[in-house]
Amino acid sequence: MTGYPGRVAFPPRRRRLGFRIAASLRHALGLPMLLLVAWGLVATRATSQFFPDPLAISQAFVDTWVGPAFVEDVLPSLYRLGLGVAASIVLGVAAGTVIGLAHWLRELLEPLLEFLRAIPPPVLIPVAMLLLGITDTMKVVVVVSGAVWPILLNTIEGVRATDSVMTETATSFRVTWWERLRFLVLPAASPRIMAGVRQALSVALILMVISEMFASSSGLGYRIAYFQRNYLIAEMWSGILLLGLVGVLLAVAFGLVERRVLRWYHGIREVNRA
């Protein structure tokens, strides 16, 4: 028999990577640069001390965050955030898979889950403080209490929507329970799971900051609140800038992971568009 290698579709070749990176950087940074310049111009004329000029903020940024503060405040924050996100993913995917697979469990839990999801997580901070004290565990619990929902609900939906023909195929070939989970249910749900994780990341960042503002002696949220109370305005702004950067870095890291995990998914969409 002969093969048909000529009819295989391959993704377009990447040409001149350096050029592409330069072009995308120009697009990504062009507008922010413009705004920065505008801000600088306005700040030199303005008299309000609450809006220092960009140079003062960048000076404060370097003075504040480069050095021991990185270890004392940034790393603990990132640690809590990372732990909270990881726990949310594990918990959300595990529980979501179980609930998504068991019809009766889903019907039983759905109203309850809707209620729990509707509670704004910050109101749990006082409760968590009472139960767990002012600890890292408390902050991680608060992060999880908000970040787990998008992952859990998306996983339930994704698992539930597994294609019936694929399920029948797996049944007819007597694929074992574990293999079914590993090669059918989880990959089939992965686009929804990743969408849930993307939402969870931004929720987790918010909750990390809020929980630190409430009750903490370290961390980004604590530090920003501290600067604000002591009228260290440029330092306060630099903390906000750092938070924004953390958010952007998270999104970039997530994008890289997602591209790898969902390569097949994006591939299909590309083929369908062509």
Q: How far is the CB of 92 from another protein (least distance, A)?
A: 20
CB nearer to another protein: pick between 180 and 198: 180
Q: How far is the CB of 154 from another protein (least distance, A)?
A: 17
Q: How far is the CB of 194 from another protein (least distance, A)?
A: 13
- Residues in touch with another protein (CB under 8 A): 1-5, 7-10, 163, 165-166, 168-169, 171-176, 179, 183-184, 187-188, 190, 264-265, 267-268, 271
Report whether 76 contacts 219 (CB < 8 A): yes
Q: How far apart are CA 216 and CA 221, in angstroms?
A: 8
- Own/partner pairs, 49-53, CB within 8 angstroms, 24+ separation: 49/233, 50/233, 52/233, 52/234, 52/237
Q: How far is the CB of 187 from another protein (least distance, A)?
A: 4
CB nearer to another protein: pick between 26 and 259: 259
List, in sequence order, the alpha helices (H) in the chain: 17-45, 54-65, 68-69, 75-101, 103-118, 124-132, 136-160, 164-172, 177-180, 186-214, 220-229, 233-261, 263-273
The amino acid sitting at 55 is L
Pull the structure tokens for residue 134.
């002012």
Count of other CB atoms within 10 angstroms of residue 150 = 23
Nearest residue to 118 via CA among 80, 153, 83, 161: 153
Q: How far is the CB of 259 from another protein (least distance, A)?
A: 14
Q: How far apart are CA 6 and CA 12, in angstroms?
A: 15
Q: How far is the CB of 268 from another protein (least distance, A)?
A: 5
CB nearer to another protein: pick between 88 and 97: 97
The full length of the chain comes to 274
Q: How far is the CB of 91 from another protein (least distance, A)?
A: 24
Pull the structure tokens for residue 166.
């694929």
Interior CA angle at 146 toward 248 and 107, to 5°?
130
- Own/partner pairs, 4-11, CB within 8 angstroms, 24+ separation: 9/271, 9/274, 11/267, 11/270
Q: How far is the CB of 169 from another protein (least distance, A)?
A: 5
